[in-house]
Amino acid sequence: MDVSVGITAYNEGWNIRNLMESLLNQKLNKVKIKEVIIVSSGSTDNTDEIVGKYSKKYKKIKLIVQKCREGKYSAINKFLKAAKSDILILESADTIPEEHAIENLCIPFKDSRIGIVASRPVPKSQNNGFMGFLIGTQWDMHHKMSLKKPKFGEMISFRKFFGRIGRTAVDEEYIAMLIKESGYKPFYADNAIVYNFGPESIKDFLLQKRRINCGHLELKKRYGYKASSMDLCLKFKVFLKKFQNIKYMARNFHYMVFAFLLDNIGRVLGLWDYCIKRNHDVWRVVGRPKNFKTNPR
């Protein structure tokens, strides 16, 4: 099974080398990475230089440079136009896939009814204390929700039957909407693990939360599509199940209350942005780890 990997990047010099090394060293059996296409949008750091060196050494690695940031959806459209495979993988540049992730993310396509597959993001946070608890709890809940109703983000695979996507701040869910509308089924590959870096501060967490919530509200308004994270009933059930351990709940009660409060503040801010029609197509990057060591190769 030939697949094309697309990576959208903006000033990702701190991690892009690690990401490419991880993709080059994937454990593959029934899947072949035909090409890795990095779309660098207005990067002003050493992202283009690093990718350029890799593209000279490995023919499968290709660099597309956008002079200005026009929004992630625009970079994705560049990838869609250039990709040659029928199965595509879209991955955020601030992630690192586990060595079996690509294989596990694509095997479900053996079922012709499957049109899109979600991975399982696992935080690689350097934070302890409250932020570590907040990010860890968020992604654990997303995992449990995805077991019932897949949530799409960080890294997804899908069948290529469309050439572009429209303006959106939540591109993975937009793609999922197109796939579902075409009659294909979604799938959650919980064994396709991709490590990500969560927000480093409460401010960054709220910036990310409001952008995502605003984007989800826009999708619901324009297309009637509802992302799984907007299913508050499902979210509440998962929340209750996670904290049914009395000892755990008592030990982390203050963290839990604050996390619940921040989550809802982020939702309210997203609703406000949606009401005033604030554009999040080109969004502020969050989650840059401090003192993160890159692969020296």
% pLDDT > 90, the chain: 67
Q: Encode pLDDT of 197-224 as tens digits.
A: 878 889 999 999 999 999 999 999 999 9
Q: What are the DSSP calls for 234-292, one per residue?
A: HHHHHHHHHT--HHHHHHTHHHHHHHHHHHHHHHHHHHHHHHTT---SS-------TTP
pLDDT at residue 288, as a whole number:
61
pLDDT of amino acid 296: 44
**Residue 128 scores a pLDDT above 80:** no
Asked if residue 130 has pLDDT above 90, the reply is: no
Type of residue numbered 265: I
Band (pLDDT 50/70/90 cuts) for residue 26 is very high
- Cβ partners under 8 Å of residue 57, min gap 6: none
The pLDDT value recorded for residue 246 is 73
Show the domains of the chain with their CATH numbers.
2-202 (3.90.550.10)
Residue 209: is it exposed, middle or buried by C-beta count within 10 angstroms (0-12/13-18/19+)?
buried
Question: Using CA atoms, how far apart are residues 9 and 71, in angstroms rounded to an integer?
Answer: 11
Nearest-angstrom CA–CA distance, 173 and 266: 19
Contacts of 162 (CB under 8 A, 6+ apart): 80, 178
pTM of the model: 0.90
232-283 tens-digit pLDDT: 788 777 777 766 777 777 777 888 889 889 989 999 999 999 999 888 877 5
